[in-house]
Chain A
């Protein structure tokens, strides 16, 4: 088992004829994912690596005779909200938003509608998710052969605010003999569809998953929310965290933004120091180096058993 994706999982790509989307489609197909359709308005009748292109999601659904389970949305920021609303209204339940630089108001509207319709959003500003050797949804891990190098099946769930670091961490786990149940690039923006705490119940319910690794950054309350969730839910899963951007706590860096849009410290609660203290108080060890993660995971797995 795994979370969110399975062997038979079907998805479409909205904005499929864009340069990045064409690459992403190729990568997912090569990995064995079932990309069953694409949408680009005005491009109906074409195909991208054999995937038929339609003008609307409705046409994809009509042509397939069923509603695909997911959609990867990679369209320019000004059109993203419309594309996501279209997917939600046509019944798609898992939407990965790759696009970055989407204003918060749009993200909040998409997420609220998704919640009302029982759909889940991953991202925006993310690379998607992967269940090693089963399904890759999005650009995560890159070309199939590169993804295969970094990701191997196993028992660790990975969640990361950085797409690139999802792969770096998984590769480090793989090298240490620790495979991944599912790795999710959750997105680097201030408001995202699914936070650590919102994804934890899925991992909690997944028999394959025995431990969690998260990559975190300054900015926002997502880590505090996870700490609260852990305290309230008596989770069976040990969590190990890595915190990047500690240098942003320096006085001369105040008010500056580095990395992702969400990585801007707006209050005293969202600095690296503050977050590390909260996570550790919740029993989540925070390591300083990526290469310390495997040992920390092994120590913690041992402790829970």
Chain B
């Protein structure tokens, strides 16, 4: 999950990293007050979880508290890339002598955290790494000991930084590494890390992302920041379909179902699984000209009610005409249970399972029982001798045959009618 800038600011502050005196405000009056407290020129920044806010007019400068209030009022109403701001951050306009970059990320290949530091802060680090590799210091950390100061010192020294800048930046990078580990961040970044005219360092902007899997054990931090456990910080607002599938999943502990439809708007509903199978099947449908109406993952042996609930949600989606029920060979999930679930969904919605289910391709545990039930309702089912690609292709052919008035079959029917 991604944190807002004002939250990231609090996180680095808690970790003992110096920050400017700032205010998080949700109204123009609060922004005026914050500007008064700060004294002098300020920056007002929109708090949105998306990039490009400078370009969009989400960052403005003010010389007086009244001006700050005015800008805050505008920015609070300004939608950026489809996101309304959570508030504004009021920050002093700092007198910066030099901008640095500091971050700690995971190196998946080495399987340990990697510290990065640059004396060319304020700009995109990838660009610096490409054009000025000697200005980027790197250093891996052991997972088994506390991130030590000396490693941070080494990394900073690789950029040629020395003197008081080195000794002052060292504890900041080391603390950043500790907070990254302690709070299960996948990214902990300060950019720019500013050295002010008096030689002191402050984190002017911070960007933190926490691993979702760690949220339960980071409850204390999240509570402290006032973040609701259900606030998933998705890159977009969940749809009704996504919300409903989630509710069905949480209502029953047996099995796991997930559903997404962001970016999907086709006529073929997908009731598919599991993790790798769903990726493979979605590709197979699209590569053969099919248009998925959604994406799902079934796993861990769901109950009939759960499979039924998922299939119903898919069938209720606008534009979905038929569903394809497909998985890679299952060993834990029972074929007959999924079969019962999807048939029940059709019947409860007053649809003919034989017409509605374009194909049922789930081979594996309890398949004989499952195929028998499907046969009774006239649903086309297939076992492992029919590949995932072929099953997806059959589903696509069926729905195109039904939807495309130019197909010879339909013409013949019309002539006959």
Contacts and interface: CB of A to CB of B under 8 A. Distances in A.
Interface string B93-129: 0000000000000101101110000000000000000
Given A139-B332, A146-B365, A190-B106, A258 B260 contact: yes
Given A105-B181, A217-B276, A143 B331 contact: yes
Contacts of B144: 109, 112-113
Nearest to A262: B108
Q: Quick one: which of A164, A172, A256, A291 has the most chain B CB within 10 A? A: A164
Q: Is the interface of B mostly helix, strand, loop or mixed?
A: mixed
A103 B217 contact: yes
A256 B297 CA distance: 14
Interface string A266-301: 000000000000000000000011110000000000
Interface string B275-291: 11111101110110000
B15 to A, nearest CB: 16
Interface in A192-238: 195, 215, 217, 220-222, 225
Interface centre among A191, A217, A248, A261 (most CB of B within 10 A): A191
How big is chain A's contact interface, by range? 35 or more
Given A256-B260, A261-B213, A164 B184 contact: no
B22 interface: no
A175 B385 CA distance: 8
B275 A247 contact: no
Contact of B286 (A23, A222, A247): A247
A77 interface: yes
Given A167-B329, A252-B262, A261-B213, A104 B106 contact: yes
Contacts of A113: 144
B329 A290 contact: no
A102 B74 CA distance: 43
A293 B394 CA distance: 20
Nearest to A242: B280
B345 interface: no
Contacts of B295: 258
A160 B274 CA distance: 14
Contacts of A36: none
B235 interface: yes
Contacts of A41: none
Interface residues of B, number: 50
Interface in B140-160: 142-144
Contacts, number: 166
Given A105-B143, A111-B111, A260 B329 contact: no
A259 B111 contact: no
Interface in B257-275: 260, 262-263, 273-275
B390 interface: yes
Given A244-B283, A256-B263, A288-B287, A188 B214 contact: no
A14 B388 CA distance: 35
B186 interface: yes
A247 B235 CA distance: 18
A174 to B, nearest CB: 10
B143 A109 contact: yes
Contact of B276 (A162, A250, A256): A162
Interface core residue of B108, B262, B330 (most chain A CB under 10 Å): B108
Contacts of A20: 332
A168 B389 contact: no
Nearest to B327: A164
Contacts of B111: 107-108, 111-112, 191
Contacts of A143: 331, 365
B328 interface: yes
A42 to B, nearest CB: 22
A108 B112 contact: yes
B193 to A, nearest CB: 22
Residue in A103, A113, A242, A261 with the greatest tally of chain B CB atoms within 10 Å: A103
Given A143-B331, A220-B108, A258 B286 contact: no
A259 B388 contact: no
14 contacts: A78-B217, A103-B213, A108-B106, A113-B144, A140-B331, A164-B277, A164-B327, A175-B385, A188-B276, A221-B108, A246-B287, A252-B263, A258-B297, A261-B213
The 6 closest A-B pairs by CB, nearest first: A142-B331, A162-B276, A252-B263, A291-B387, A244-B279, A165-B276
Interface of B: 106, 108-109, 111-113, 142-144, 181, 184, 186, 211, 213-214, 216-217, 235, 260, 262-263, 273-280, 282-284, 286-287, 295, 297, 327-332, 364-365, 384-385, 387-390
Interface of A: 20, 23, 77-78, 101-105, 107-109, 111-113, 127, 139-143, 146-147, 150, 160-165, 167-168, 171-172, 175, 188, 190-191, 195, 215, 217, 220-222, 225, 242, 244-248, 250, 252-253, 255-256, 258-261, 263, 288-291
Given A108-B143, A164-B275, A220-B108, 5 more contacts: A112-B144, A175-B385, A190-B106, A263-B279, A291-B389
